[in-house]
Amino acid sequence: MDGLDIRDLIDLPRLQRIQDRLAQATGFAMISVDYRGIPVTSPSNFTPFCAAIRHKPERRLECFRCDAHGGLQSAIEGKPYFYYCHTGLVDFSVPIMLGSQYLGAWLCGQVKPTDSTVVLQRIGASDESWRADTELMSLYEQIHRVDLGRLYSLADALFEVASYLVQKEYLNTVRSAHQEDQLRALREPEPEAFVPELHLVPDPVTGNSPHPEFSRLEMVDADAIEIPRFRSDEAGDRPTSGSGQPNPSFSFTELAQSVDDRDLVAAISVVEAFLDQVFQRGGKFVGRLRLAEVENNIVLLAQETSSHVGLLLHEQVMRQRSQQHGQRSRYDWQTYLEGLLFTLFDATEEVTAPHPRNITDLLNHIERNVTRTMTLTMAADFMGLSPSHLSRVFKAHTGVCFIDYVTNRRIERAKTMLKRTDIPVLRIANSLNFQPVNYFSRVFKKQTGLTPSEFRRRYTEHQQSA
């Protein structure tokens, strides 16, 4: 179990749905974080005060420190941990653990106690400078007081839910791995001479290193097998395959531009285009060597954003390289690389100057949460606009109404799952949160002219005849 990451073990969209429903039912704010205190879900039912605090970069870091410290303390004690955050509100953390390994935590609270004499440890520096901000002070005064007995009961319940959820997800992972091993034994393995490693060397032009152990990334083969190293579209003549055809080309420039534009949809499209090339040539399953170029370029982009972001992505890639062996399907590679892009965009947002949310931010939010139901009201809350105003702005920017856009993105994900996996139609409908399930077939047929089953059958027949 060494090296487990909460993102690898737990189905985050499902965790988000559970968190949203718990927050709605209890009326308390909730968020899930990894062992470093970095959020892995979107906030649920956050108070306007805490949302405003976290929107300010100088305050947000203190919130992350509180989350990290509170979660770690609950892991040490092996039970929910109550504390005052750096602003004086009561929070509690529920450890998410597998055995003795701490994966992350649920953070909940953002309330004032009815009994002002209650004694709890305060986390973070005693900095009251935020009180000089009249807007923050006004929002702080609106926070209601709660009997901590309610929080104690909720904490115990969440602790049981977290334990059950982790154990269930771990058993599913073990079961899936066993099934994959059985399937792999039936397939002809793809020969791979080695698993590439990312070595960290000084920049050959400037000689500078923004981190003592992290500068430029390159592909290195420990057995001295020569591997071309270049940013894909900066090369002259690309290497060719044995048939004389150019190998699949990955557009570093397009990906870099999408990151600069904070356009997650465009970044995913670049990765999908490369995957289409790879799997068109490589069959139904391919090994890591075919995709190492994409991993390296994503990490390189992260490093150019900041050394912290680069190290974060580097650790994530190296962890996957040490844990994953053999071949993977098109859909498995896509979801993995999307996860890297999510981490890159989230971390980049943390280190860039704050800005008012715009439609691009909303489109990114939709793309991150494509498996969730998202209403116009929820989107308006995310943007800080009224639903009617957002509806007009959204259509002016995209050319389609909000509901049609969200539905289209969910149907596109469904089409990918139907083409790239053998997951039953009912499970796809459930995973995309179409309720009731037969509504999925109606919407899908309206969009494509085919039922989901017909669409999958047509695609399979086309692939077999090609």
Residue 4 has what pLDDT?
Answer: 66
What is the pTM for the complete model shown?
Answer: 0.49
425: CATH: 1.10.10.60
> How far apart are alpha carbons 425 and 205 in whole angstroms?
53
- Tell me, yes or no, whether 218 and 115 share the same domain: no
Residue 376 has what pLDDT?
Answer: 92
Cβ-contact 390, 383 below 8 angstroms: yes
User: Domain ends where: 113, 148, 178?
Assistant: 178
**Average predicted confidence (pLDDT) for the chain:** 77
User: Domain ends where: 146, 178, 210?
Assistant: 178
Kindly state whether residue 162 falls inside one of the protein's structural domains. Answer: yes
> How far apart are alpha carbons 213 and 225 in whole angstroms?
24
- Tell me, yes or no, whether 149 and 281 share the same domain: no
Kindly state whether residue 191 falls inside one of the protein's structural domains. Answer: no
Partners of 29 in the β-ladder: 109
Kindly state whether residue 217 falls inside one of the protein's structural domains. Answer: yes
H/E segment holding residue 34: strand 29-34
> Residue 66 is which amino acid?
C
Kindly state whether residue 187 falls inside one of the protein's structural domains. Answer: no
- Tell me, yes or no, whether 34 and 159 share the same domain: yes
- Cβ neighbours of residue 398 under 8 Å, at least 6 residues apart? 359, 363, 405
* DSSP-based three-state secondary structure for 354: coil
- Tell me, yes or no, whether 397 and 249 share the same domain: no
pLDDT means over runs of 10, the chain (466 residues): 68 87 89 85 90 80 83 85 89 85 88 83 77 89 87 86 78 54 48 43 41 38 33 43 55 85 89 84 71 83 75 78 75 86 79 77 89 86 92 94 93 90 85 79 92 91 78
- Tell me, yes or no, whether 370 and 300 share the same domain: no
User: Domain ends where: 112, 145, 178?
Assistant: 178
- Tell me, yes or no, whether 64 and 165 share the same domain: yes
Which tokens go with 2? 């060494």
Per the structure, the count of domains in the chain is 3
Kindly state whether residue 189 falls inside one of the protein's structural domains. Answer: no
- Tell me, yes or no, whether 158 and 21 share the same domain: yes
Residue 351 has what pLDDT?
Answer: 64
- Tell me, yes or no, whether 362 and 349 share the same domain: no
- Tell me, yes or no, whether 174 and 204 share the same domain: no
Residue 173 has what pLDDT?
Answer: 60
How many angstroms separate the most distant Cα atoms in the chain? 77
Domain containing residue 95:
6-178
- Tell me, yes or no, whether 346 and 227 share the same domain: yes
Using alpha carbons, list the distances in angstroms from residue 108 to 65, 115, 256. 15, 19, 37
Kindly state whether residue 185 falls inside one of the protein's structural domains. Answer: no
16: CATH: 3.30.450
- Tell me, yes or no, whether 146 and 172 share the same domain: yes
Nearest residue to 329 (alpha-carbon basis) of 384, 363, 291, 360: 291
> How far apart are alpha carbons 169 and 10 in whole angstroms?
6
Partners of 111 in the β-ladder: 90
- Tell me, yes or no, whether 304 and 339 share the same domain: yes
Residue 458 has what pLDDT?
Answer: 92
Kindly state whether residue 362 falls inside one of the protein's structural domains. Answer: yes
Kindly state whether residue 186 falls inside one of the protein's structural domains. Answer: no
